[in-house]
């Protein structure tokens, strides 16, 4: 949860806000033409309705101050909107972006858009499971994770291929993202410490291979 929250802030509330605002301005998110052409009228109106309802329900002081100062402005700027949205709502907002926007964001993490899309979907599912205290350590993921192409990222496949539907996959993609988001962070060491603290817990149900620490991604 700690790692996923940092990814949420970095990808959605920082990169998405920055890239989208530079391209379309602080209120560009209210214009359907600034989204992927595949977004339907219903999806767009649902997104705008959810954003409006979140604002109405919010008692955040920064919104009250903004409304008091900009009386004639019907919308909040994007950086305020994202402060009110849940991970799932932010994911929806991200997935409906133009490909060019998602390319700029995903390339910051040395990924293609389709791969980052897949990762964010599964992180949302895992986050929801953790929030409801569900068991995840020995269960297959509800979604298969799209791994980077072997041609461009062979270190995901040697000396052993990472599975696409187990907890180890989630730990590995988190580890990858945090190396860009927080390169001095000690999250990887925390994972190792946790596994070492419970040696009786088998690793295989989590999808962890015997020689997993030889993977370049975990060195």
pLDDT tens digits along 127-157: 999 999 999 999 999 888 999 999 999 989 8
Residue 167 CB: number of other CB atoms within 10 A?
A: 20
User: What pLDDT is attached to residue 198?
Assistant: 94
Is a pLDDT exceeding 90 seen at residue 160? Answer: no
User: What pLDDT is attached to residue 4?
Assistant: 95
DSSP code at position 71? T
Is a pLDDT exceeding 90 seen at residue 210? Answer: no
User: What pLDDT is attached to residue 142?
Assistant: 87
pLDDT tens digits along 164-191: 899 999 999 999 999 999 999 899 999 9
The ranges assigned to domains in the chain are: 2-107, 115-218
User: What pLDDT is attached to residue 145?
Assistant: 93
Question: How far is 36 from 17, CA to CA, in rounded Å?
Answer: 16
**No. of helices (H) and no. of strands (E), the chain:** 10, 0
Task: Find residue 97's DSSP bridge partners.
Answer: 35
User: What pLDDT is attached to residue 219?
Assistant: 84
Is a pLDDT exceeding 90 seen at residue 122? Answer: yes
Is a pLDDT exceeding 90 seen at residue 162? Answer: no
Tokens of 193: 């410490």
Question: How far is 196 from 173, CA to CA, in rounded Å?
Answer: 20
Ordered DSSP codes for 139-203: S--SSPPPPPPTTT-GGGTSSSPPPSSSHHHHHHHHHHHHHHH-TT--HHHHHHHHHHH-TTS-S
User: What pLDDT is attached to residue 159?
Assistant: 87
The predicted model gives 5-18 an average pLDDT of: 96
pLDDT tens digits along 56-88: 998 899 999 999 999 989 999 999 999 999 999
Nearest to residue 175, comparing CAs of 119, 124, 106, 131?
Answer: 119
Instruction: Determine if the peptide bond prior to 159 is cis (ω within 30°).
Output: yes
Q: What is the mean pLDDT of the chain?
A: 94
Provide the whole-model pTM: 0.92
pLDDT tens digits along 16-56: 999 999 999 999 999 999 999 999 999 999 999 999 999 99
Is a pLDDT exceeding 90 seen at residue 158? Answer: no
């Amino acid at each position: 949860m700690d790692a996923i929250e940092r990814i949420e802030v970095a990808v959605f509330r920082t990169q998405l806000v920055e890239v989208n605002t530079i391209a379309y301005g602080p209120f560009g998110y209210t214009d359907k033409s600034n989204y992927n052409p595949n977004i339907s009228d219903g999806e767009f109106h649902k997104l705008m309705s959810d954003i409006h309802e979140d604002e109405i329900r919010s008692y955040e002081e920064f919104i009250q101050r903004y409304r008091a100062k900009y009386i004639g402005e019907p919308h909040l700027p994007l950086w305020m909107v994202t402060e009110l949205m849940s991970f799932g709502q932010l994911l929806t907002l991200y997935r409906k972006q133009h490909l060019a926007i998602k390319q700029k964001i995903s390339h910051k993490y040395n990924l293609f858009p389709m791969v980052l899309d897949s990762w964010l979907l599964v992180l949302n599912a895992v986050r929801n499971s953790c929030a409801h205290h569900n068991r995840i350590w020995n269960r297959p993921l509800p979604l298969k994770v799209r791994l980077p192409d072997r041609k461009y990222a062979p270190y995901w496949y040697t000396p052993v291929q990472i599975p696409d539907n187990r907890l180890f996959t989630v730990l590995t993609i988190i580890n990858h993202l945090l190396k860009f988001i927080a390169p001095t962070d000690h999250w990887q060491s925390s994972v190792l410490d946790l596994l070492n603290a419970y040696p009786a817990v088998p690793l295989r149900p989590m999808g962890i291979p015997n020689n997993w620490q030889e993977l370049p991604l975990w060195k």
